[in-house]
Amino acid sequence: MKKNYAINDFNGKIIMLYGLFLLLSISIYGQSQSSENTIINVDWDVCRYYPSPNSHKSTIKAPDHIRQKIANGGGGCSNFIVNYNGFTPQAEAAFQFAVDIWSNSIESPVPIRVSANFGPLGAGVLGGAGPASFRTVSGSGFPANTAFPIALAEKLTGSEIASPPATTSTDIIATFSSTANFYFGLDANPPINQVDFVSVVLHELAHGLGFLGFGTVPTDNTGTPDPNPPVVGVLRNQGFLSPWDIFIENGTPTAMTSFGDPSAALLSEFTGNNLFSNGPIATSQNGGVKPSTYAPATFSVGSSYSHWDNSTFPTGNPNSLMTSSIAPGEAIHNPGLVTLGFMEDMGWSICGGSLSVKELTLDTIEVSPNPFNSSITIRVSNNFNDDYNISVLDINGRVIFNETEKPINGSIAISNLDELESALYFIKITNKNNGASITKKVIKN
């Protein structure tokens, strides 16, 4: 069998189905090495993003360094090329703002091509999006029997994957409700009765980049579980897993991949309120706790399995972007470190450096004031219950101070530094639980 590309001949595409609802469905069809195509449809809604029933005023802006970069017109770590259909200039500006946040959050050497549409969606649905296709990636280091969202497959192989006859591919297809009451401002300050469009786009683009698994229930061509209520859960899509599926386990912990597929046992896992991602970087960014995925008692197509759990990450939580609903009045313009950590677990690279478990990042540790006088405060934004070793060294490497402390309300204070000479010092902070460490320069006034 001859292969011309690192990409296996395994294609997929999203088919938009217009019926009772407009459904976003994924079908994967295997393409044999010959010219014969075998098309297999496994249809389900990737995301039915709903407004939550109660309004909730909440503002989470994009990270400061990203807002500064956008304001200065600085390029990101990835290049999104968007084809807009049915957008007003205002809607396009809001979509572009969300694109700019993602392009400053993840890295790819290959352009990410997005088809962005306004259209009719099911009653109450704000938007839906997904990868335009999934592809397997051959080569060492890539898990077997895994199909990657195409934007990620292109990032991993460093090359454009064609969708013949075109020489490029659409990577993400996103559709937004033409009847929803959206707020198109960029200031993360939507009125209490409007849904923040930037937040919705940010959410849907995450799905398009690969924030979704194949776990679902069999559905008919309107997206209704078939039979209703469903009797089995399904994990593999035409025998393939997505990178998401590899990391999902229950509280025991038992991996979803070890259950019969399809099976009633799998359905009870999907509806047991007891599913977690064991992605190591996501877990590290969640304070050492495996983040909980949405697994309500009734399987909800387009919500269950492929979102974070709403009660674990409620409105206002910095990691709430990828829960299954958004409140009118809520703005969240930051993907959040748990979501970015899981993107990195699945194969993405993070703009500005790894969130890897071996390092503390500038995002998670803050040392102030700098310059300091008599005391220094170290603030941690996750891993609150871990022990931290703090050592202060002078320019010759002599240890001036060395203690292990546990944060109180996220802070560790070092005091009685009055008598230190005015000079440059190094402060080394080591998380004793996972071995991660960071060293920062500080100046004594």
- The residues of the shown chain that bind Zn ion, judged by CB under 5 A, are 47, 49
CB of 47 to Zn ion, least distance (A): 3
Given the complex with Zn ion, which of 119 and 287 has the nearer CB atom?
119
CB of 361 to Zn ion, least distance (A): 26
The CA distance from 133 to 150, in Å, is 6
Given the complex with Zn ion, which of 115 and 310 has the nearer CB atom?
310
Cβ contacts of 47 within 8 Å, gap of 6 or more: 24, 127, 128, 129, 130, 203, 204, 207, 212, 302, 303, 306, 307
Tokens at 210, concatenated: 């690969």
Place of tokens 């579980």: 225
The per-residue DSSP string of 65-79 comes to HHHHHHHTT---SS-
Angstrom CA distances, 102 to 66, 168, 277, 392, stand at 9, 21, 22, 37
φ, ψ of residue 344 to 5 degrees: the values are: -70, -40
Angstrom CA distances, 299 to 88, 196, 229, 238, 289, stand at 36, 27, 9, 21, 24
Nearest to 225 by CA among 279, 305, 152: 305
CB of 49 to Zn ion, least distance (A): 5
Given the complex with Zn ion, which of 47 and 332 has the nearer CB atom?
47
Given the complex with Zn ion, which of 136 and 293 has the nearer CB atom?
293
CB of 207 to Zn ion, least distance (A): 5
Give Cα 51 to chain centroid, integer Å: 19
CB of 368 to Zn ion, least distance (A): 36
CB of 22 to Zn ion, least distance (A): 16
Secondary structure element (H or E) that encloses residue 173, with its range? strand 172-177
CB of 211 to Zn ion, least distance (A): 8
The CA distance from 404 to 172, in Å, is 47
Given the complex with Zn ion, which of 301 and 378 has the nearer CB atom?
301
The CA distance from 136 to 159, in Å, is 14
Given the complex with Zn ion, which of 49 and 118 has the nearer CB atom?
49
Given the complex with Zn ion, which of 128 and 279 has the nearer CB atom?
128
CB of 315 to Zn ion, least distance (A): 15
- Three-state SS at 160: coil
> Is residue 315 packed enough to be buried (19+ CB in 10 Å), middle (13-18) or exposed (0-12)?
buried
CB atoms within 10 A of CB 1: 6
The CA distance from 321 to 355, in Å, is 18
The CA distance from 156 to 153, in Å, is 5
Given the complex with Zn ion, which of 105 and 383 has the nearer CB atom?
105
CB of 269 to Zn ion, least distance (A): 20
